[in-house]
Structure 1
């Protein structure tokens, strides 16, 4: 894979290229995401979100606060989700977990009301399907993959970043006490959201920040901007390029899945080498034997995945608290 190739081609998208949509440019070239990026795991029993959705900078955001805020000081945390977005119960509970640890959490609707296709809790497994049922499921998976590619084409950096900047500017005003207490804004990102935490934590030319090819001389009007956050932590990113990582200028923790087709080793290695060269404080944690998306709150039958999920949360939280 070339250095600039996006690290998000899911295995199911290969079927799109080879069957229904031969010749379609989006199906052939557009990035894709896996099931764990677009479908919630079952919600842990008995857990109910405690925050609320309101407008922040004109953008819907799920906001959840520590129980003793504002009587006790808090720090501001931006949480960026995978494709299931802010209406996902699991994502709300994930935000609540950070709030219970002393962060005032803002989880914005980075998709502007357009969450990933078929975003819904994952159904419980049933009996082994018949051959005909498996064929039907294969066609459905291929169609869904195409829909996700189309959806991703609607949610590019030039669409997502302006929404995030509106939220950040409004948050600095409305929650100035939390921003001041933390000495800036912290951020965590999962799957889709991980790329944008990396971008917000970086110093990039306009051409990198907005995903377009522009001349890099000053006469063309390009300039370096950022970083917009103090420190960040991301888990199993999608759509991430080496440039996204190499531009990072703030302390960054990256939780990765071993042999992850959505975040291949060559992308990780190139990014890690760049961070080492730049002297940017960072850490990479590699988790074997877990699926992409494991760090997003949700129930698993496999106790090893449950333990890894809890460990990843603890490591991300610890990184933020240490910075």
Structure 2
């Protein structure tokens, strides 16, 4: 995520879920969906720079919870998400994906202490970078990275968990050729992976699609199903 253009088309922030779905998980205020019962798998969704209040992200959390997962969407920005009025160049240094990774590890530990049988993590743009780093620790069972910001090849080389990478055909921040190369690196390291490029969509489409854009909506729904299938494969054994 190297410039403001990466954060074009911000989501409309409105109601998304109920206040009683906000809990503290791993020290962070989090939107939660579903029930965390012993031996049930859990998912962590790491938002893009616009933060955990985005309605479509919370709707996705609810959709995944209906499939039997306990879903947590933490506020990794502690009430300071990016907004178009802010300068990304000054916002980003105070919200590094590496810090997000360390916070995510605390959430993983908290979920395990509460009895989660297996944990997966999905990240969008900024969150994709955090999930990529999280995957190097081997503390989760599976990862999904969606239209990420700039990924580190070192992190990809160090990835220890099965990883799906879902990208947009029209994305200069995560070009399809680069994402396919990451898949080749994972395969060379004997890490199961799935790389898919969705045609005709742009960066951020999975949680920033417009309901009246038939193609983007269809691709977003397809990406959600691909994510669900990946997590079901590795977390519900």
TM-score category, normalised to shorter length: 0.7 to 0.9
Q: CA deviation at 1:100?
A: 1.1
Q: Distance in 2 between matches of 1:73 and 1:299?
A: 37
Aligned Cα root-mean-square deviation (Å)? 2.4
Equivalent in the alignment of 2:219: 308
* Change in 2 beyond 3 A, CA 1:166/1:292: same
Q: Distance in 2 between matches of 1:83 and 1:311?
A: 23
Q: Distance in 2 between matches of 1:309 and 1:74?
A: 26
Question: Number of matched residues?
Answer: 233
Equivalent in the alignment of 1:53: 22
**Cα distance per residue 1:25-77 (max 9 Å; x no partner):** xxxxxxxx2314xx11588xxx95256112123211111115xx64x963111
Equivalent position to 1:115, from 81, 98, 102:
81
Q: CA contact under 8 A between 2:101 and 2:131: conserved in structure 1?
A: no
Q: CA contact under 8 A between 1:80 and 1:108: conserved in structure 2?
A: yes
Q: Distance in 2 between matches of 1:243 and 1:300?
A: 37
Q: Per chain length, whose mean CA-contact separation is higher, i.e. which structure has more relative contact order (CA < 8 Å, sep 6+)?
A: 1
Q: Distance in 1 between matches of 2:54 and 2:138?
A: 29
Give matches, 1:94-133, under 5 Å.
94-118=60-84
Q: CA contact under 8 A between 2:167 and 2:176: conserved in structure 1?
A: no
Q: CA deviation at 1:250?
A: 1.1
Q: Distance in 2 between matches of 1:62 and 1:42?
A: 14
Equivalent in the alignment of 2:129: 195
* Change in 2 beyond 3 A, CA 1:34/1:271: same
Q: Distance in 2 between matches of 1:200 and 1:228?
A: 8
Equivalent in the alignment of 1:320: 231
* Change in 2 beyond 3 A, CA 1:54/1:95: same
Equivalent in the alignment of 1:35: 8
Larger Cα-atom Rg:
1
Q: CA contact under 8 A between 2:129 and 2:148: conserved in structure 1?
A: yes
* Change in 2 beyond 3 A, CA 1:97/1:194: same
For structure 2, the 5+ residue unaligned runs are none
Q: Distance in 1 between matches of 2:196 and 2:125?
A: 15
Equivalent position to 1:159, from 82, 85, 99:
99
**Cα distance per residue 1:114-133 (max 9 Å; x no partner):** 11124xxxxxxxxxxxxxxx
* Change in 2 beyond 3 A, CA 1:53/1:147: same
Q: Distance in 1 between matches of 2:59 and 2:209?
A: 9
Are 1:247 and 2:158 matched, yes or no?
yes
Are 1:273 and 2:184 matched, yes or no?
yes
Q: CA deviation at 1:245?
A: 2.0
Equivalent in the alignment of 1:141: none
Question: TM-score, structure 2 length as denominator?
Answer: 0.88
For structure 1, the 5+ residue unaligned runs are 1-7, 14-32, 119-143, 203-225
Q: CA contact under 8 A between 1:192 and 1:238: conserved in structure 2?
A: yes
Are 1:171 and 2:105 matched, yes or no?
no
Q: Distance in 2 between matches of 1:163 and 1:42?
A: 24
Q: Distance in 1 between matches of 2:125 and 2:229?
A: 20
